[in-house]
């Protein structure tokens, strides 16, 4: 309630005072911002490159995708402790394009907790959706993996993020790269129907179709009412032309007739990669990696009036990827990955003042330093801690939210 009143006031202020906002241009590196040296932060070593992160609903536990395992983090201490690793079914590793190409293997990538908190869905091995029983993983039981559903090669072979419907019956997976079976350049959103998530025991499922989106779809977010799925696409010339996009997708149509589910697409900047929704559902925030910006959209206008949907655009650090809202949506943190390892710039965590951003005023409060290639972020259920996977340093960085500016 409080949050929605604030948003209404901010939207009102924006419409009456602010100058027109435009999508950010492509930018090689971000100018260095103020180093934030007075933040309580600490690292946990993990065994390999951390990718997706998700907290459990209870139990002071979080999970992290660690290639061929799912790491279980005990978050009752600061920083957390890696207490257990669930081995994922590596017999499916041979399906992984990364393994075949001999590159760095992202065995597992995205993670999402089911709506009832009892299962984790993990995208892995390019086409697979692995289902883990949360309670069994926490108890270190040997049978924590309760399902493995394979995708269809037609939909793509580079699964990154996953979202799940409120009834825990459908999962949507971003397939960043197109199927090697087609000449298409675009990626897709693959649709999985799942059976048995509400029960204890085995989970099965099948890939039921896909929606072709722009080039390089990655970031996914479901609206709170479950009606819309939002997806980013990096765009065809992500480093040179602002053609990254944010798409609005109708969830009911996506389940049954995916190719007809796209409602609208707006330009977001160069290399749009992740999207989150404000707590009141009114604003979408998107990281645009090759613009080194985070941009805000008025969710209500994305379909009805897309040319007026852009609300704000804020300079952050170089190559931002993950982002989270903290402190009642008054701050945004971005994982400034510098993933292309440009010299003369820093990786880290930018802190953005949300109200200032929406007023069109300087909003970058500074950057917390981190290791190599920070990537994904997660906020604890009590809002007091943020965890970030530092992919290139094999570490999890914990940040005490109370010490942010």
Interacting residue with ligand NAG among 41, 67, 177, 248 (CB under 6 A): 67
Interacting residue with ligand NAG among 2, 9, 12, 240 (CB under 6 A): 2
The conformation of residue 35, written as its DSSP 8-state character, comes to B
Instruction: Give the shortest CB-127-to-ligand NAG separation in angstroms.
Output: 4
DSSP states of 46-92: -SS----EEE-SSTTEEEEEETTEEEEEETTSSS-EEEEEEEP-GGG
Instruction: Give the shortest CB-329-to-ligand NAG separation in angstroms.
Output: 9
Instruction: Give the shortest CB-114-to-ligand NAG separation in angstroms.
Output: 19
Q: Please count the residues of this chain forming the interface with ligand NAG, following the rule CB under 6 A.
A: 37
Nearer to ligand NAG, 235 or 360 (CB): 235
Instruction: Give the shortest CB-62-to-ligand NAG separation in angstroms.
Output: 10
Q: Which residue has the tokens 């292309």?
A: 340
Residue 105 makes contact with ligand NAG by CB under 6 A: yes
Residue 259 makes contact with ligand NAG by CB under 6 A: no
Instruction: Give the shortest CB-19-to-ligand NAG separation in angstroms.
Output: 28
- CB contact burial 272-288 (16+ within 10 A = b; e otherwise): bbbbbbbebbbbbbbbb
First CA to last CA across the chain, in angstroms? 24
Selected range binding ligand NAG among 90-98, 217-225, 266-274, 304-312, rule: CB under 6 A: 90-98
- Strand-by-strand arrangement of the 128-133 sheet: 108-113, 119-124, 128-133, 145-150
Q: Which residue has the tokens 């948003």?
A: 7
Nearer to ligand NAG, 137 or 311 (CB): 137
User: Cα(277)–Cα(287) distance, rounded to whole angstroms?
Assistant: 12
Interacting residue with ligand NAG among 108, 127, 175, 337 (CB under 6 A): 127
Nearer to ligand NAG, 15 or 45 (CB): 45
Interacting residue with ligand NAG among 13, 74, 223, 264 (CB under 6 A): 74
User: Cα(129)–Cα(126) distance, rounded to whole angstroms?
Assistant: 9
- 330-359: which residues touch ligand NAG (CB under 6 A)? 343-344
| Cβ atoms of 302 and 284 closer than 8 Å | yes
Interacting residue with ligand NAG among 7, 41, 212, 397 (CB under 6 A): 212
Q: What is the separation of C-alpha 238 from the centre of its chain, rounded to a whole number of angstroms? A: 18
Q: Which of 147, 136, 260 is nearest to 193 (CA)?
A: 147
Selected range binding ligand NAG among 9-17, 19-27, 102-110, 252-260, rule: CB under 6 A: 102-110
Residue 61 makes contact with ligand NAG by CB under 6 A: yes
Interacting residue with ligand NAG among 135, 153, 263, 303 (CB under 6 A): 153
In DSSP terms, 293 is beta-bridged to 288, 315
Distance of CA 231 to CAs 226, 298, 333, 369, Å?
14, 15, 20, 29
Nearer to ligand NAG, 311 or 325 (CB): 325
In DSSP terms, 232 is beta-bridged to 246
Interacting residue with ligand NAG among 13, 27, 48, 223 (CB under 6 A): 48
Is 308 strand, coil or helix?
helix
Q: Which residue has the tokens 């010490």?
A: 403
Nearer to ligand NAG, 56 or 251 (CB): 56
| Cβ atoms of 339 and 30 closer than 8 Å | no
Number of H helices, E strands in the chain: 6, 28
Residue 214 makes contact with ligand NAG by CB under 6 A: yes
Interacting residue with ligand NAG among 82, 120, 138, 197 (CB under 6 A): 138
Residue 34 makes contact with ligand NAG by CB under 6 A: no
User: Cα(98)–Cα(299) distance, rounded to whole angstroms?
Assistant: 36
Q: Which residue has the tokens 């109370």?
A: 402
Interacting residue with ligand NAG among 50, 52, 79, 235 (CB under 6 A): 235
Q: Which residue has the tokens 């209870």?
A: 58
Residue 264 makes contact with ligand NAG by CB under 6 A: no
Which chain residues interact with ligand NAG by CB under 6 A?
2, 38, 45, 48-49, 59-61, 67-68, 74, 76, 83, 90, 92-93, 95, 104-105, 107, 127, 138, 150, 152-153, 186, 212, 214-215, 233, 235-236, 327-328, 343-344, 403
């Amino acid at each position: 309630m409080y949050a929605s009143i604030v948003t209404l006031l901010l939207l009102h202020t924006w419409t009456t005072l602010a100058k027109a906002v435009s999508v950010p241009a492509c930018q090689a590196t971000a100018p260095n911002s103020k180093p934030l040296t007075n933040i309580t932060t600490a690292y946990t070593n993990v065994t390999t490159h951390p990718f997706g992160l998700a907290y459990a609903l209870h139990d002071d536990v979080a999970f992290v995708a660690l290639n061929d395992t799912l790491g279980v983090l005990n978050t009752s201490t600061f920083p957390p402790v890696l207490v257990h690793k669930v081995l994922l079914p590596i017999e499916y590793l041979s399906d992984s394009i990364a393994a075949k190409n001999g590159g760095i293997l992202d065995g597992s990538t995205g993670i999402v907790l089911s709506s009832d908190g009892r299962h984790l869905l993990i995208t892995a091995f390019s086409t697979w959706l692995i289902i883990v029983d949360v309670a069994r993983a926490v108890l270190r039981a040997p049978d924590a993996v309760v399902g493995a559903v394979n995708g269809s090669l037609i939909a793509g072979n580079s699964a990154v993020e996953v979202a799940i419907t409120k009834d825990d019956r459908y999962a949507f997976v971003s397939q960043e790269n197109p199927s090697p079976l087609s000449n298409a350049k675009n990626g897709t959103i693959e649709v999985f129907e799942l059976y048995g998530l509400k029960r204890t025991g085995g989970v099965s499922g099948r890939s039921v179709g896909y929606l072709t989106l722009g080039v390089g779809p990655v970031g996914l977010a479901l609206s709170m009412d479950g009606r819309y799925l939002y997806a980013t696409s990096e765009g065809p010339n992500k480093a040179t032309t602002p053609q990254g996009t944010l798409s609005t997708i109708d969830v009911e149509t996506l389940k049954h007739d995916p190719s007809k589910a796209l409602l609208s697409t707006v330009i977001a900047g160069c290399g749009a990669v992740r999207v989150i929704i404000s707590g009141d559902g009114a604003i979408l925030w998107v990281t645009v990696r090759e613009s080194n910006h985070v941009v805000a959209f008025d969710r209500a206008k994305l379909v009805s009036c897309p040319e007026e949907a852009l609300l704000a655009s804020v300079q952050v650090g170089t190559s931002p990827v993950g982002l989270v809202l903290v402190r009642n949506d008054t701050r945004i943190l971005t994982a400034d990955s510098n993933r292309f390892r440009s010299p003369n710039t820093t990786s880290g965590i930018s802190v953005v003042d949300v109200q200032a951003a929406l007023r069109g005023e300087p909003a970058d409060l500074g950057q917390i330093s981190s290791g190599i290639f920070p990537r994904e972020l997660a906020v604890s259920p009590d809002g007091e801690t943020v965890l970030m996977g530092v992919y290139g340093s094999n570490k999890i960085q914990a940040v005490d939210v109370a010490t942010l500016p």
